[in-house]
Structure 1
Amino acid sequence: MSLDQTASAPARPRVSPVLVGRTAELEALVRTVLKTPSLVVIDGEAGVGKSRLVRELAADPALAGTPVLIGHCEHLQEPLPLAPVLDVLSHHADLVPPGDYNPIVGALAPLVPELGDRLPPPPPELADQGAARHRVFRAATELLDRMGPAVLVLEDVHWAESSTFDFLTFLAAHQPPGLCIVLTLRSGGAPLPVRESFARAASGPPLALSLRPLDPAGVGELAGRILGTPVSAAFAASLHERTGGIPFVAEEVLGTLHETPLPDDGAHHDDVLTDLAVPTALRDVVLGRLDGVAEGTREVLGVASVLDHPVDVDLIAEVTGLPPADVVAALVDAITAGLLHEQDGQVRFRHVLAEQIVYDALPTPTRRLLHRTVARAIEEREGPRPVARLAHHYQRAGDVTRFVGYAEDAADLAVTHGDDAHAARLLVQAMATDLPTEQRLRLAVKLGRAAVDGLAHIEAVPLLQQLLATEALPGDVRGELRFALGRLIRQQGLADAGYREIEQALPDLAENPALLARALAILAAPETVADRPMAVHAARGEQARDAARRSGATDVGLAVRIADASLLIEQGSPDGWALVERLLADDALSAYPREHARACVNWAQAALHVGHVRRAERLLAEGRRVVAAAEYLRVTDVIELVAAAVDCSAGRWSDLAGRAHELVVRRPGYDAASLDDHLLHGIMLAASGGTQEAVAHFTALVEDAARVGAVWPLLAGRSALARLLLTLDDVEGSARQADLAVAAARQKGNWVWAAEPMLCLVDALVAQGRTAEARAHVEELAAGLGVVDAPLAHAALLSCRAVVAHADGDGVAAVGLLREARAVVADAGLRHEESRVVERLGGWLAEDGDAEGATLLVEALRGYGGRAATNDVARVTRTLRRHGLPVPYPWRGGRRSNGLGLSGREREVALLAAQGRTNRQIAADLFLSPRTVESHVRNALRKLGCSSRADLAVHLLADAGEDRAAAAG
């Protein structure tokens, strides 16, 4: 973000600008309020949003002109009689009309001085206090009648004193016809004293609205509204866990982010919440409740906060020495006070922050003693020891020796269960202590193994780097640590640095053939680094096979064969697919789920690189099945990216723009998958977004890929940028980017990767009149490719030859070559590529006056339209008009007026929906409720006669693209 953007950015709201998660309750409330006389009781725990619902009611357009009179019951030691009602009358004196009143109304004059000039004089005092109170009730009821139609809201009636309840009983029996009475109160307290009188009211029983905490999705929407950007599911889940879904608590936590610098990607990583200070307002609320319970309850709550676990009555009794019955009584007291609650049959703190506040209130020596006491009590229990829990307690108790011992045991156990991430976290914590060298190295080796699959590179990399730089390590240990470090650096997206680190590890791994084979197999992968030719990768593959044979380990042999297959596929060798089929049929692969999962994902990516979409789909389906069964976290995230890339190539673009955007938002840093995320997002921008934004996006992608040395996103990014620049008539820029991409593929020695950028280069050279140079490049490509099993490369070579033939005036040969190219991409399932070939073929035939040209251009138009590829639709539309050909519906007749009757807001929402944005994303962008967005989308579909969002894209995005093109021209 630039300095100017930062300076002009609006401040984030401290509360959500729109009501979240209460749409149904608000609609029911409005309906009831409009049907006077009526009664409503809204209950829910503190902070759940009762007052916010009332504010939304007051602002609802349906109540325009209807006063909403709000009075508050105060939590006072000596509450004033009838205070909330008198408060309403005094603050809304302007609504009391002058006129003839029953003389009894004068009884309010001394109580509400603000009404003195409008009311009759006070009647004579009565000796009977009951009669005097009855007179005041009658007077207040008459005034409320005169002020109506109106809504009387009394907030927090759980704090009301007896006279207010008596008045409500009277009012329910004598309710004015134009008055709705709304009460809010906390749930879980004593029964409402007016419950029976409200149930017997002449207006009928009250509407009962019980507000519950928000679910994780609701908390995520609330956070997005406050932070001004959609948040990740992980962020929402973490915030929900910390706040229990209570909106007030969530808003207070998010409010602390106003005082804490929030990274640009902070709303997509749950760890930004971990170290936030507990909000002061929330701390005061919890400590106030804690002060209000008995001493024994505070003691029990203190132990419960140390347990960091669902409440265990027997364990608390053992630690405190209290009888279990007394512990249960204390827990009931804490539930009544709102500090604990029941969930899934267990007693827990109301939310994580309440537990933290109670825990922090304990003196440090007390906390340490309780942790030690709890740990020893757990150790003495029969059965398997919960080693991770014991590690936690001994760490908090300050017992380093026992903590490290249990942490290592817990990490070992986590690895056996496949939870490498948890193992890595435990080992990182253990290594942060002062340890003997031997123990430190043992833990470091375990950390290196766990961190790779546990995705803990951020924490583990500096630890391993420090060890390698400062410790005199045995060769085998140094080799294993350096190998792990190289893999972790690659996970961070530093492809070249990670590759070189693994290369450095090879000499130290010589006596460990299993690890050596795995290291060499990684070095055999060609798509990660730019400056190693294919011959080097092939040599590494041969070395890996030799090391695998020496190791004799089945899983190592599998890993090497998997890498062999990937290397062959990337070069377009049919032998690669034969090896894949043999491995998939081998029972040994199924016996190692992680190897199986990695294989499917790696092969699917390689298949996409060369254009085998259908094979990628089959492998992806297999990979999903294995990943789900193995719960393999490391691959789970990559699966989503590969699935999006498969859908992109296969032409399934419904919501793909939104998915691509979310992938980029989720991984804003340049880790191992981030460059591919950005490539996909750029493709979507180029097809249906702002073209200049897409140019800037691809430029940044290319710069970052070059910086980290990752050849595949670098080649694909330059190729995509070259193609985009060509459509923008920047022929020179297109030729430069395409030439750089071809040169990189030439240096790599893989002509399969050179084919797509070569087509862009040939187009640019021919456009510059440099046909002879283009022809020479095409012949170089043909010689380099030979016979390959790579549909993208095959089709690109055919198209290159067609472009040169067309430039030479041999139209028949050019058309024949393009028809052949179309058959190749169609057979491979490359739908968007097929549309491009069809567009080119149709344009050439239209130039020659061939009627088939119009048919093919319309076919391309409909293909692009079905994918909401706005810029492509606009380009084909201009081609049709340039040749004097009619543009079929929905583009007939030029620009349509405002989307056939769409309102400005409907059109704005509809355009975003057509671009693949979800209702929730649109709501966050435009600060609307998801329900409002849903309504606008539904109206747009109806007005335009569309049956789906894809159809909506066909109607709307073409015009948007034409408008942008006209403006650019």
Structure 2
Amino acid sequence: MQGSGVQRSGVQGSGVQASGVQGSGVQASGVQGSTSGFVGRSRELAALRQALGAAPAIVLVDGEAGIGKSRLVAEALAGMDDVRRLRGGCEPVQEPFPLGPVLDAVRGHADRLPPPGALSPVVGALVPYLPEIAARLPPAPPPLNDLPAERHRLFRGVLALLDNIGTAVLVLEDVHWADAGTCEFVAFLAGRVPPGLALVLTLRSEDSADLPIWEALARAGATRRITLEPLQRVQVRELARELLGSPELPRGFVTSLVEATAGIPFVIEEVLRGGPDLSAGLPVPTALRDLLRARWATLDDDVREVLSAAAVLGTAPDEALLVRLIGDPARVAHALSRGLAAGLLHEQDGQCRFRHALAWQVIHEELPSPTRRWLHLRAARLLDEGDGPRPVARLAHHYGQAGATAQFVRSAEEAADLAVSHGDDATAAHFLVPAMRVAALPSADRVRLAGKLARAAVDGLAHSTAVPVLTDLLAGDDLPAVVRGELRFMLGRLLRQQGEAEAGYREIERSVDELGDRPDLRARALAILAVPDLVVDRPIEVHLARAAQASAVAADDPAASIAVGIARTSLAIERGDPAGWPAVDALRTGPALLGNPREHARACINWAQAALHVGHANRAELLLVEARRAVDDLAYLRFAGVVDLVGAWVDLSTGRWDGLLERARAMVSTPSEFTDAALDARFLLATVLAVAGEPDEAERLLRDVVAGAARVGAYRPLAPARIGLARLLLGLGRPRAAAEEAMRALDIVRPKQLWPSAADATLCLVDACIRLDRPEDAWPAVDELAVALRAADAPLALARAAQCRASLTGDAEQFDSARRQFAELGLRYEQADAEARLGQCLVLRGDPDGPGWLERSLRSFDALGALGGVTEVRRTMRQLGVPIPYPWRGGRKSYGGRLSPREREVAALAASGTTNQEIAERLFLSRRTVESHVATALRKLGGRTRRDLAALLESADDV
């Protein structure tokens, strides 16, 4: 898209813009005033206009190079005269300037802003970045001492500015080149799009599946995606007629054109722009690269020399630098004019650019290697000699292309430092990794860069990139001990964030002895090692010893003391230590933690999780509110997904289940910046599925979680997932397997002494032993639990322990006591389960109140939507001969030989040609669940293959 408008033909020489064509276009048969139509994109255009008309909105327009993304956006905006158009573009080489493309888009629209006094003060954060409109902004706020907080304040300032501009479309083009900060801002903006704003992103989708922007879009969630495909044969014919001004085309011409261009509009234009002799057929050769090379060959040597130098400067060459490089302004002007006439360049926003990335690439590649290296070196030196801030990213690019490794490393490190100063750790890693790969890099430089990379990667998005670099570096013998210790500590943290619990823990353990001269880092390492539920095979004595060591080491370091305090209080809560919560309250309200917003957010998340584990759901909810406020206020976006995950667990525990299954599926399908959270999200989904009455999918997920957690040695979610699997197996009528799984869970818990999280396993073992007519086998575990929980602050586990003993003794009073305890704690599912146990006990005793409690439990489970609980209680009532209230409308609907709504939805998508993987992604299902639904639909409808589904669905009478 050029500027914010749309180029139209109609003036001689202005050209015809074909579908997807960027730039000068083709003069259609030399006819003045001819106008090309917009070919083959009516459906996509309607979809984009509909999305833009439903602001707030986020729309992704993607497709391969030359497919017509910019033209589609321009065409959609053409009729929106009352909408402000903001445009920013991403470039392959960008300086580490915060939100450059976004700020470029807004800087020219200050006229739409109210007076500075009417703007939010946070907009003042933009003053250092938009000095040209500073007079229209509030004063800059004082600096913060926290780079992530500064970064978030900038995000909030841009958001407030966009909100004040009014009805607008913000177009960010070529986001496959977007820097990490822009990607992060897209994720931030996603949940906060101002009412009058539509965000449009264009993306070249080929070979870009692993780009950071995809993760940002996945976290955005509500993104509308419009994918442009190559034109079909009939559309190619229509476009060729438009471009050539000929209503009739020779036989076979369109077929050859499709074969030569693959239906890509830009390539079609390039093939036809010379107006081929139709009787002679297409020009030979017709490949786009060959056409561009042929066009390049028509230029004289002098023009080619100048344009070669322009290609070295990038897709949008700096004309002033080009003049300095060539030394003759007239010669440069002549060459640029010839490039425009040849269709290799076009003008955009008053600047000559290469008309297409392929045109730039062909010219750059045509340069002999020595010439290309010399031009890059000459460009770098000219940039180095300039006044003002050094363009470190461009310098790194040119020095790198020139093979000047020492200068490249220096510039890359400066670019990384600049990125870090803006809080952009991921961009810093982007510069540091290639610098460290320089073969001749001196050891001292490699160590220094590795330290910077490790620190950037821990807080950034470059985990997978940094891990092998640090691993290789640590394999050598030339590192000083303290440097080795710091790098190993960082490596351990990175491995943990990638989900490699045991490997990360082991590296952190090894780093402790190497960090003797760094007590600050040593204390933090020991604090991590004190956390008991990270790994499976370290007993509680190890964690307690590490906690004591951490406290001693951190005594004189306030910052490290905070980390140690968080770890020690979390350990106390998980163990049920009554001193835990007073210690939490003292730390939580103290100035040390409140003065460190990032640690404050992390602490509240950790404490909320620990509170849930021991049954303090109300405390967990309050802590989660506090954590969310810290994350929102300071936008620690990397914590946002974890907060959402913990919030879902709080809602599950307290019975707020509306939409919870959909949320859980979305969390599983959305990439997390903490890979180790992926298993927790899958465990959450499995748990929700189990209580919602989907045991088959729940069992598959639970077994996957158990296998994954066992592989990496992660205590959590291995132990709770085994407990969940045991409970599910019991509900499926497999008590022996349930007992075995419960005992495996207890074997994991026992060395950790985290008995508050073991009570569910013990109760499941009791239930299984009773069904196996071997209740005496459960007594040792029940007694062990009772001893372990003596004087513990663990209300959930204490109530479960009472149910264990009551189940073995038939003590209705203990069942009722547990029921009241769950009600007081606000744990509605556990309360419904306790009502069922109480009712069953009373019925077996002949107490007339028993049936009433069973019916009450039935209705409690039904109100929650816990269809698994409904099914279990109905089974119990039938076994006891207790009448089930009729008509009963609760419970899971049986569809018999008819398709369920979900089966019909999956079958319809399969009939349309959608693959199982695509269906799974669209509906937030596992691929195996989709396969199961397709197979069930075929069985019920009497079909044999997916091809049968369309006709069978049309004739089926089930709805």
Q: TM-score range by the shorter chain?
A: 0.5 to 0.7
Q: Tell me: CA distance 1:894–1:666, structure 2 relative to 1, closer, same or farther (3 Å).
A: closer
Partner of residue 839 from structure 1, selected from 825, 836, 845: 836
**Secondary structure of the structure 2 residue equivalent to 1:606:** helix
Compute the TM-score of the two structures, normalised by the length of structure 2: 0.62
**Aligned-pair distance for 1:793?**
1.3
**Which residues of 2 match residues 677-688 of structure 1 at below 5 A?**
677-688=681-692
**Which residues of 2 match residues 293-372 of structure 1 at below 5 A?**
314-316=320-322, 318-319=324-325, 364-365=369-370, 367-372=372-377
Partner of residue 651 from structure 2, selected from 647, 653, 670: 647
Deviates further, 513-522 or 582-591: 582-591
Once residues 744 and 362 of structure 2 are traced to their aligned partners in structure 1, the CA distance between those partners, rounded to angstroms, is 59
**Secondary structure of the structure 2 residue equivalent to 1:574:** coil
Does residue 1:817 correspond to 2:814, yes or no? yes
**Structure index of larger Rg:** 1
Asked if structure 2 preserves the Cα contact closer than 8 Å seen for 1:702 and 1:717, the reply is yes
**Aligned-pair distance for 1:745?**
1.1
Look up the match of 2:883. 884
Once residues 213 and 821 of structure 2 are traced to their aligned partners in structure 1, the CA distance between those partners, rounded to angstroms, is 40
Does residue 1:764 correspond to 2:788, yes or no? no
Query: Once the two structures are superposed, what CA deviation does each residue of 1:933-963 show, in whole Å capped at 9, x if it has no partner?
Result: xxxxxxxxxxxxxxxxxxxxxxxxxxxxxxx
Does residue 1:399 correspond to 2:404, yes or no? yes
Once residues 897 and 721 of structure 1 are traced to their aligned partners in structure 2, the CA distance between those partners, rounded to angstroms, is 27
Query: Once the two structures are superposed, what CA deviation does each residue of 1:60-99 show, in whole Å capped at 9, x if it has no partner?
Result: xxxxxxxxxxxxx9999899xx9x9xxxxxxxxxxxxxxx
Once residues 225 and 388 of structure 1 are traced to their aligned partners in structure 2, the CA distance between those partners, rounded to angstroms, is 25
Once residues 898 and 314 of structure 1 are traced to their aligned partners in structure 2, the CA distance between those partners, rounded to angstroms, is 75
**Aligned-pair distance for 1:867?**
4.9
Partner of residue 423 from structure 2, selected from 418, 425, 445: 418
Look up the match of 2:521. 515
- Between the aligned residues of both structures, percent identity stands at 42
**Secondary structure of the structure 1 residue equivalent to 2:229:** helix
Asked if structure 2 preserves the Cα contact closer than 8 Å seen for 1:726 and 1:734, the reply is yes
Deviates further, 502-511 or 876-885: 876-885
Asked if structure 1 preserves the Cα contact closer than 8 Å seen for 2:614 and 2:756, the reply is yes
Q: How many residues align?
A: 701
**Aligned-pair distance for 1:766?**
1.7
Once residues 437 and 838 of structure 2 are traced to their aligned partners in structure 1, the CA distance between those partners, rounded to angstroms, is 65
**Aligned-pair distance for 1:513?**
1.2
Once residues 650 and 331 of structure 1 are traced to their aligned partners in structure 2, the CA distance between those partners, rounded to angstroms, is 70
Look up the match of 1:234. 215
Look up the match of 2:8. none
Compute the TM-score of the two structures, normalised by the length of structure 1: 0.61
Asked if structure 2 preserves the Cα contact closer than 8 Å seen for 1:802 and 1:817, the reply is yes
Query: Once the two structures are superposed, what CA deviation does each residue of 1:866-891 show, in whole Å capped at 9, x if it has no partner?
Result: 55444334334444566222245534
**Which residues of 2 match residues 727-738 of structure 1 at below 5 A?**
727-738=731-742
**Secondary structure of the structure 1 residue equivalent to 2:475:** helix
Does residue 1:387 correspond to 2:392, yes or no? yes
Q: What's the RMSD between the two structures over aligned residues?
A: 5.4
Look up the match of 1:472. 478
Partner of residue 543 from structure 2, selected from 537, 552, 555: 537
Look up the match of 1:721. 725
Once residues 871 and 75 of structure 1 are traced to their aligned partners in structure 2, the CA distance between those partners, rounded to angstroms, is 69
Q: Tell me: CA distance 1:155–1:421, structure 2 relative to 1, closer, same or farther (3 Å).
A: closer
Look up the match of 2:432. 427
Look up the match of 2:571. 567
Asked if structure 2 preserves the Cα contact closer than 8 Å seen for 1:225 and 1:924, the reply is no
Look up the match of 2:457. 451
Asked if structure 2 preserves the Cα contact closer than 8 Å seen for 1:431 and 1:440, the reply is yes
**Aligned-pair distance for 1:444?**
1.9
Look up the match of 2:594. 590
Once residues 696 and 906 of structure 1 are traced to their aligned partners in structure 2, the CA distance between those partners, rounded to angstroms, is 22
Deviates further, 874-883 or 741-750: 874-883
Deviates further, 512-521 or 287-296: 287-296
Query: Once the two structures are superposed, what CA deviation does each residue of 1:96-133 show, in whole Å capped at 9, x if it has no partner?
Result: xxxxxxxxxxxxxxxxxxxxxxxxxxxxxxxxxxxxxx
Once residues 698 and 786 of structure 1 are traced to their aligned partners in structure 2, the CA distance between those partners, rounded to angstroms, is 31
Once residues 857 and 706 of structure 1 are traced to their aligned partners in structure 2, the CA distance between those partners, rounded to angstroms, is 38
Once residues 638 and 850 of structure 1 are traced to their aligned partners in structure 2, the CA distance between those partners, rounded to angstroms, is 47
Q: Tell me: CA distance 1:845–1:214, structure 2 relative to 1, closer, same or farther (3 Å).
A: farther
**Matching residue's letter, 1:407:** A
Once residues 587 and 888 of structure 1 are traced to their aligned partners in structure 2, the CA distance between those partners, rounded to angstroms, is 60
Once residues 75 and 794 of structure 1 are traced to their aligned partners in structure 2, the CA distance between those partners, rounded to angstroms, is 83
**Which residues of 2 match residues 874-953 of structure 1 at below 5 A?**
874-879=871-876, 883-887=882-886, 890-891=889-890, 905=904, 922=922
Once residues 644 and 224 of structure 1 are traced to their aligned partners in structure 2, the CA distance between those partners, rounded to angstroms, is 33
**Aligned-pair distance for 1:669?**
12
**Aligned-pair distance for 1:700?**
2.8
Once residues 853 and 347 of structure 2 are traced to their aligned partners in structure 1, the CA distance between those partners, rounded to angstroms, is 66
Partner of residue 247 from structure 1, selected from 220, 228, 236: 228
Look up the match of 1:274. none
Once residues 765 and 553 of structure 2 are traced to their aligned partners in structure 1, the CA distance between those partners, rounded to angstroms, is 42
**Which residues of 2 match residues 783-802 of structure 1 at below 5 A?**
783-802=787-806
**Matching residue's letter, 1:503:** E
Once residues 883 and 204 of structure 2 are traced to their aligned partners in structure 1, the CA distance between those partners, rounded to angstroms, is 53
Asked if structure 1 preserves the Cα contact closer than 8 Å seen for 2:343 and 2:355, the reply is no
Once residues 796 and 667 of structure 2 are traced to their aligned partners in structure 1, the CA distance between those partners, rounded to angstroms, is 25
**Matching residue's letter, 1:386:** P
Partner of residue 604 from structure 2, selected from 600, 606, 618: 600
**Matching residue's letter, 1:515:** L
Q: Tell me: CA distance 1:889–1:480, structure 2 relative to 1, closer, same or farther (3 Å).
A: same
Once residues 586 and 381 of structure 2 are traced to their aligned partners in structure 1, the CA distance between those partners, rounded to angstroms, is 55
**Secondary structure of the structure 1 residue equivalent to 2:610:** helix
Query: Once the two structures are superposed, what CA deviation does each residue of 1:706-751 show, in whole Å capped at 9, x if it has no partner?
Result: 2322112111011001000000111010000101111221121221
Q: Tell me: CA distance 1:309–1:907, structure 2 relative to 1, closer, same or farther (3 Å).
A: closer
**Aligned-pair distance for 1:364?**
4.7
Look up the match of 2:677. 673
Asked if structure 1 preserves the Cα contact closer than 8 Å seen for 2:18 and 2:38, the reply is no
Look up the match of 1:828. 825
Partner of residue 502 from structure 2, selected from 486, 496, 516: 496
Partner of residue 705 from structure 2, selected from 691, 701, 706: 701
Partner of residue 626 from structure 2, selected from 611, 622, 632: 622
**Aligned-pair distance for 1:525?**
0.7
**Matching residue's letter, 2:389:** P
Once residues 348 and 847 of structure 1 are traced to their aligned partners in structure 2, the CA distance between those partners, rounded to angstroms, is 85
Asked if structure 2 preserves the Cα contact closer than 8 Å seen for 1:219 and 1:247, the reply is no
Asked if structure 2 preserves the Cα contact closer than 8 Å seen for 1:46 and 1:186, the reply is no
Partner of residue 505 from structure 1, selected from 488, 506, 511: 511
Partner of residue 414 from structure 2, selected from 404, 409, 412: 409
Asked if structure 1 preserves the Cα contact closer than 8 Å seen for 2:607 and 2:620, the reply is yes
Asked if structure 2 preserves the Cα contact closer than 8 Å seen for 1:47 and 1:249, the reply is no
Once residues 521 and 855 of structure 1 are traced to their aligned partners in structure 2, the CA distance between those partners, rounded to angstroms, is 51
Q: Tell me: CA distance 1:850–1:629, structure 2 relative to 1, closer, same or farther (3 Å).
A: same
Query: Once the two structures are superposed, what CA deviation does each residue of 1:327-383 show, in whole Å capped at 9, x if it has no partner?
Result: 79969996997976869x999888877866775566655654454344334434433
Look up the match of 1:5. none
Structure 2: runs of 5+ lacking an equivalent: 1-15, 42-67, 76-168, 176-189, 191-198, 233-260, 271-287, 910-916, 928-959
**Matching residue's letter, 2:554:** A
Q: Tell me: CA distance 1:493–1:248, structure 2 relative to 1, closer, same or farther (3 Å).
A: same
Q: Tell me: CA distance 1:745–1:637, structure 2 relative to 1, closer, same or farther (3 Å).
A: same
Look up the match of 2:466. 460
Deviates further, 573-582 or 708-717: 573-582
**Aligned-pair distance for 1:568?**
1.0
Q: Tell me: CA distance 1:472–1:897, structure 2 relative to 1, closer, same or farther (3 Å).
A: closer
**Aligned-pair distance for 1:671?**
4.1
